[in-house]
Amino acid sequence: MDQARLKGRSLALTDFDPNGLALGSQIYGLPFAVEDAEVVVVPLPWEVTVSYTSGTAMGPAAVKAASAQVDLWDPNVVDAYKMGLAMAPASVKLAEKSERNRERAEVYLAALADGTEQMASSQKLLARINEACAWMVARVRSEVETYLDRGQLVVLLGGDHSTPLGYIQALADRNPGMGILQIDAHMDLRAAYEGFTYSHASIMHNAMQHPGVAKIVQVGIRDYCSEEVAMAQELADRCAVFYDRDLKHAAYRGISWAQQVDLIVAELPQQVYLSFDIDGLDPKLCPHTGTPVAGGLEAEQVLYLVEQVVASGRILLGMDLNEVAPGPEGDWDANVAARLLYRLANALGKANGRCTFAV
């Protein structure tokens, strides 16, 4: 454990009351500076390629605001708040670039819908959008590598699900043979969906092109196309899919979630990256996410799965939480996400020996 960060956290905790109001400007009202944190939350307000409803670019800010309502006791990690969790500043340039290219994407998608996407003007728009998305991937990679080089752990908070590709690439370079545990309603295995090279629906197709990614294990899948099924079959033993329908049918036959989790965990390699699209949950928990789908997991099912990954002795290298979109009626989606983010970040710290208070 880095002694300078430990000293900084100790000083920050001097007058901190974990049972009091969430004060200050940091996520969860925690008192830590980014440079003193063991786990850094990197916000990515980006949603250029969303294909149904927008709003995920507002997710990071909404989750941070909702985090003030989260109590800090974690039954899996005693005194977890002492570990050091902080949220990095959001990039204004990235947010502006997202908004500008989302407008371009809407024009291009309208051309796609009316069959005029092959016009020179539409192709020029598409090229500019793909260039912007490539810039985002490179920028994310550069930012997370800064924290990884310091020995810090990273949770990426999107934004749409295209955002973690640069992070996954950085980790796969450093940890060849790693696996991806994907919680999602969708397989995201389409190649350049709607012409967008870095589409949110293509994130896992792109991730699996990296030679350092040995396997993907997908859980909660319930909305997919034949192209994606073919891709999963092509990947063969590099891909294991636990469809939502199959998980529920197994439960109807009396197979417990604990038993099913054992099967899921057994498919994972020793080093694991968690990619969590919040639409993997039952949409009652995230009704405003970009592409909600009936069915899905409960929050505690996901947490149990991740906790069992850690209990198995596997190492969580990092994680993302994506596709959180605040709704007009209030902050329900962000409230759910903020509670999940806290527990998941603590699990990440515990898996890497950063929680000296872990039970």
Q: What is the tens place of the pLDDT at every residue in 219-254? A: 999 999 999 999 999 999 999 999 999 999 999 999
Pairwise CA distance, residues 316 & 274, whole Å: 7
Task: Tell me what the mean pLDDT of segment 51-75 comes to.
Answer: 92
pLDDT at 359: 34
Q: Does residue 356 fall inside a structural domain?
A: no
pLDDT of 216 higher than 70: yes
Q: Does residue 359 fall inside a structural domain?
A: no
pTM: 0.96
Q: What is the Cα 36 distance to its own chain's centre?
A: 23
Length of the chain: 359
Give the residue numbers spanning the domain of 36: 3-351
3-state secondary structure of 157: strand
pLDDT at 52: 67
The residue to which tokens 């699209």 are assigned:
277
Burial code of 115-143, b = ≥16 C-beta within 10 A, e = fewer? eebeeeebeebbeebbebbeebbebbbeb
Confidence of residue 330 (pLDDT cuts 50, 70, 90): low
Structure tokens at 324: 């959180």
Q: Does residue 357 fall inside a structural domain?
A: no
Tally the domains of the chain.
Answer: 1
Pairwise CA distance, residues 214 & 181, whole Å: 11
Q: Are 242 and 264 in contact (CB under 8 A)?
A: yes
Q: Are 337 and 286 in contact (CB under 8 A)?
A: yes
Query: What confidence tens digit (pLDDT) does each residue in 145-177 have?
Result: 999 999 999 999 999 999 999 999 999 999 999
State the average pLDDT for the chain.
Answer: 95
Query: Strand 315-322 relative to strand 153-158: parallel, antiparallel, unpaired?
Result: parallel
Structure tokens at 123: 């192709």
Neighbours of 352 (CB within 10 A): 17
Say which residues have a Cβ less than 8 Å from residue 44's Cβ, sequence separation at least 6. 60, 90, 94, 136, 140, 156, 157, 158, 159, 163
Q: CATH number, domain at 156?
A: 3.40.800.10
Q: Does residue 358 fall inside a structural domain?
A: no
Say which residues have a Cβ less than 8 Å from residue 167's Cβ, sequence separation at least 6. 140, 141, 144, 154, 156, 318, 320
Q: Does residue 11 fall inside a structural domain?
A: yes
